[in-house]
Amino acid sequence: MARYLGPKVKLSRRVGVPIADIPKHTAKRQLTPPGIHGYRGRRLRDYGIRLVEKQKLRYHYHIMEKQFRRYLDEAERRQGNTGELLLQLLESRLDNVVRRCGLGRTIWAARQIVAHGHVRVNGQKVDRPSYQIKVGDVITFRDRVHKLVRENMESMGGVEVPGWLELNPAELTVRIIANPTRDQIPFDVNTNLIVELYR
């Protein structure tokens, strides 16, 4: 599978919002368009506005276009608001849960922890970052990665764990107590524009 291996801050600059909650991405000067003088081109048209919203979501969850399209198809298949269901599916990815609890500093770090086989879901090893967690699942970590995870928690300092997750810092376990709702997702994106883009 193709992966983006280039500079990550450039992605934040391209879409105009920080895609990771670390100082490198949230610094004010980093939100200027990429390029030595910034992009001073024409205003975006309707298609461009919708495309930028879609790219924000893709970059924030670090997924490829084909994978994103599958999530959208699944959200359309289910009963309910397609935009909210899409966010719920993306938020329920295993790598994202590790990030939301502050156990990985960024989505890329959380993805690496999962891909290297350090995560257990209900006692079973899971090494797929895209694994969909469900209500009642319990996430634990291998002993050899406890030191790294604790360092990540300390370096993040005061990460607010969403209400749909229950973190036990002493034992490094995470329990899924509910499905995520729109107001519990700390990333601002207009999902209606994304759904319109694909119609």
- The dihedral formed by the CA atoms of 57, 140, 125 and 112, expressed in degrees to the nearest 10: 40
Reading the block at residue 31, the tokens are 């939100």
Q: What is the pLDDT of residues 122-171, one digit of tens each?
A: 999 999 999 999 999 999 999 898 988 888 888 877 778 888 989 888 88
Structural domains in the chain, CATH included, are 9-90 (1.10.1050.10), 94-182 (3.10.290.10)
Residue at token pair 């319109």: 196
Tell me what the mean pLDDT of segment 87-93 comes to.
93
Contacts of 103 (CB under 8 A, 6+ apart): 110, 113, 141, 149, 152, 153, 172, 174
Tell me what the mean pLDDT of segment 179-189 comes to.
85
Spatial distance between the Cα atoms of 34 and 64, rounded to a whole number of angstroms: 21
CA–CA distance from 150 to each of 70, 121, 137 (Å)? Answer: 34, 19, 21
Which H/E stretch holds residue 67? helix 65-77
